[in-house]
A = this chain, B = another copy of it.
Amino acid sequence: MNSGLLIVVSGPSGTGKGTVCAELLKKEDDLFLSVSTTSRGIRAGEIDGVTYNYTTADNFKKMIEDNLMLEWAVYSGNYYGTPKATVEKMMGEGKNVLLEIDVQGALQIKKSYPEAVLIFILPPSMQELRRRLVERGRETEEQIDERIFAAAFEFENAKRYDYVVVNDDLDKCVKAVESIICAEKYKTKRNIELIKKLVD
């Protein structure tokens, strides 16, 4: 059996990558979401094991030292990251694993695991990104300005991803990511054993 794929999806706030990932998980039977681990406290409305896996900062630091994290970062003094164990177990079972993480984490993964498939979700335009953030109404105008500024910086890093998909139409965007997942399985580098077997 072939190993599953590690699919990493990133994109700035407001691109709708969360909705894209949720749709993918509904449609793709052998795709599984990897839940991130964090050292920050659980908040109202969050579910342990669903929103995040919660642990202590000491535990998290120990996992980093023991090289047990696929990627990790610190935001506002809290650790966030992806433990290797769950991801590798699922992939070993032939399941495709979906990670919805930021650029920093994605590029960490690509370095240690070049076979990962990095997909960057782009908004149709900066104007549309701003419109979506305003409509969502979660941030102040100043915070939205900051997010737009951060997005422009993230787009620069999009060049280091394998694929970029514009989310101007949810269905089209989900279909595109599904095609990418399907196509990646046929990459020659993932099928060298198969060719060898045929020749022998």
Which residues of chain A from 176 to 198 have any CB-CB distance to chain B below 8 Å in the complex?
176, 178-180, 182-184, 186-188, 191-192, 194-195, 198
Q: Which residues of B contact A178 (CB under 8 A)?
A: 179
Tell me which residues across on chain B come within 8 A of A126, comparing CB atoms. 198
Could you mark each residue 98-125 of chain A with 1 if its beta carbon is under 8 Å from any beta carbon of chain B, else 0?
0000000000000000000001101101
When C-beta atoms are compared, the residue in chain B nearest to A197 turns out to be: B125
Q: What count of chain A residues pass the 8 Å CB interface test?
A: 35
Q: Contacting chain B: which of A20-28, A46-54, A152-160?
A: A152-160
Cβ-defined contact, A188 with B161, below 8 A: yes
Nearest CB in chain B to that of A123: its residue: B198
Given the complex of chains A and B, what is the CA–CA distance between A145 and B188 in angstroms? 27
Interface of chain A residues 130 through 162 with chain B (CB within 8 A): 152, 155-156, 158-162
The reply to whether the CB of A166 lies closer than 8 angstroms to some CB of chain B is yes
- Stoichiometry, as copies per complex, reads 2
User: Which residues of A are interface residues toward B (Cβ below 8 A)?
Assistant: 119-120, 122-123, 125-126, 152, 155-156, 158-166, 175-176, 178-180, 182-184, 186-188, 191-192, 194-195, 198-199
Min distance, Cβ A185 to any Cβ of chain B, angstroms: 8
Q: Is the CB of A180 within 8 A of B186?
A: yes
Most buried by B among A166, A187, A195: A195
Known A155-B199, A156-B199; contact A194-B166, beta-carbon cutoff 8 A: yes
Given contacts A125-B198, A179-B183, 16 further A-B contacts (CB under 8 A): A120-B188, A123-B198, A126-B198, A152-B199, A155-B199, A159-B195, A161-B188, A163-B187, A164-B188, A166-B194, A175-B182, A176-B183, A176-B186, A179-B182, A180-B186, A183-B183
